Amino acid sequence: MAVVGIGIDVVDVERFGISLERTPALRERLFTPEESTRALASLAARFAAKEAMAKALGAPVGLDWHDAEIVSEETGRPRFEMRGTVAARAAELGVGSVHVSLSHDAGIASAVVVLEA
C-alpha cells in the first residue's frame, strides 16, 4: 500500500484545558458527545489526532471536527470513524486505511496519523 498522507500534532494539555474553560462552546464544537466525556489529557490527544488527520488530508478548508471521531476498540486501541467532510476528502485521495497513534505524558499530548491507499 502507498502512503497517501502523514500528519503529526502536539498539544500542551494545560493550555488546551485553559482554552476549554475560557470558551465552553469549544468542547462541543471540537468533540462528539462520546469524546467529550473523556479526561483532559485524552481530549488533548484526540484534538491532536484531529489536527494530524487534517494535515494528512492536505488541510482542506471546510472539514467538520465531528466528522473525524476517535473511538476506542475493545482493546483500547484508538481508531478514526470518518464521515461527512472527512470521509469525502479521504475518498477523493483514495484512502484505504487509516493508522492513528495517541500519546500523553508530562503535560504534552501528541498524535500521528498515516493514511494509506
Q: pLDDT digit string (tens) for 13-39?
A: 999 999 999 999 999 999 999 999 999
Q: Could you tell me the pTM of the whole model?
A: 0.95
- Residue 61 C-alpha cell reads as 478548508
pLDDT in tens, 48-96: 999 999 999 999 889 999 999 999 999 999 999 999 999 999 999 999 9
Strands (E), the chain: 3-12, 68-72, 78-82, 97-105, 108-116
CATH number of 3-116: 3.90.470.20
**Whose CA is closest to 70, among 45, 107, 90, 104?**
45
94 and 115 Cβ atoms separated by less than 8 Å = no
